[in-house]
Amino acid sequence: MDLGNMSVQPHCTVDNGYRFTYLKISYSMIFIFGVVSNTMALRRFCHMPRTLTSTAVYMANLAAADIFFVISLPLRIYYHHNKAAATSNRTTDWSPGGVFCQATFTLKYISLYGGIFFLVCIGVDRYFAVVHPLLQHLRRVRTARMLSTCIWCLVLALSVSLPFLRSAASRQNKPCLPDPSSRRNRTIILAALGLVQIAYLLPALLLLFSYCSILRRLPRRRKICHRRTLTIIYWVLGVFFLCFTPYHLNLLGYTLTQVGLVHSCGLARVTKTLHPVVLSLASTNCCLNPLIYYFSSTLVHREGIGKRENGSLQLS
């Protein structure tokens, strides 16, 4: 939910014209690293055992969410390139059409919240593996596939509704730029902000609960046997809170000041200046997620072997 240059506090303006060039360069770098890292991750998946596990299902869906974002990056680079050119040449502000905005932001939200939800799925999957190992029916591949399908439906609904709300609160000639000048538009913007914050806070709380429970349980066992689980825990927590927390916190303060609910010139300037930085930071999750695949591939491999051995025992 990028709010661009909107402002109802004209005396609190800040020059952030750098954001178009900054985002163009950062998105180009993220695109390159995202393609390379996700290609390597997919190759590693191909060498994994054919027997699927619930963890592998969630990681495959997380990789799919990353691919959606990588696909959207050329569109975003094109958008910021034209905006930067218009700013530097002092020409008429370039504005894309409504279809362009809908497609670009839909792909962005698919990656953003697909990444959030499937990272949480990996965390909850580890929670049941360590804290409730007897409830293995909750970690069946069929259950993981059904849950993944439900999550994709939720992500798609959220990813379509947010751009729709965005366009409903925009000027007719600038569909990519929400306009909070009217009370109706401010209500729509705040409704979108509420959806965004809920889509982050609930998964964050669930992830913290799962991993705090895991960390309380692990000291009772031999740490050598659970070193791989600890590695996954730290990487998932690191990626989740490093990429998504600054973005959602900054977006909260940024939106509230821009719609006039919080009258703080300092907060308005800080959040507006930081917005391009936290936006690109949130986008780096598509580059960091393959590290989770790398460090957890051995664990998935061992679980796949164990699953096959258990299946053989049941058949014999």
- The predicted-structure confidence for 9-31, as pLDDT tens digits, reads as follows 556 666 666 788 888 899 999 99
User: Does 67 have pLDDT greater than 80?
Assistant: yes
Average pLDDT value for residue range 148-170 = 87
| Model confidence at 87: pLDDT above 80 | no
Q: Calculate the average pLDDT of the chain.
A: 79
CB 1 within 8 A of CB 192: yes
In this structure, of 41-50, 128-137, 195-204, the range with the lowest mean pLDDT score is 41-50
Kindly state the average pLDDT of the residues 32-39: 86
Say if residue 202's pLDDT is above 90.
yes
Question: 170: helix, coil or strand?
Answer: strand
pTM: 0.82
For residues 158-177, average pLDDT: 77
How many Å apart are CA 180 and CA 163, to the nearest integer? 16
Q: What's residue 314's pLDDT?
A: 38
**Which of 198-212, 249-263, 283-297 is predicted with the least confidence, judged by mean pLDDT?**
283-297
Alpha carbons 65 and 298: distance in angstroms, whole number:
22
Residue among 1, 65, 71 nearest 285 (CA): 65
User: Of 143-147, 200-204, 288-292, 306-310, where does mean pLDDT reach its minimum?
Assistant: 306-310
> What does the pLDDT read at residue 308?
46
Rounded-to-integer distance, Cα 67 and Cα 55, Å: 19
**Domain residue spans of the chain:** 17-305
- Detail the DSSP E strand segments found in the chain: 170-171, 174-178
**Are 122 and 62 a contacting pair, CB within 8 Å?**
yes
Rounded to an integer, the average pLDDT of 286-315 is: 59
CATH superfamily, domain 17-305, is Rhodopsin 7-helix transmembrane proteins (1.20.1070.10)
The count of C-alpha atoms lying within 13 angstroms of the C-alpha of 209, restricted to the half-sphere facing its C-beta, is: 11
* 119 closest CA partner among 301, 296, 257, 307: 296
pLDDT for position 105 = 83
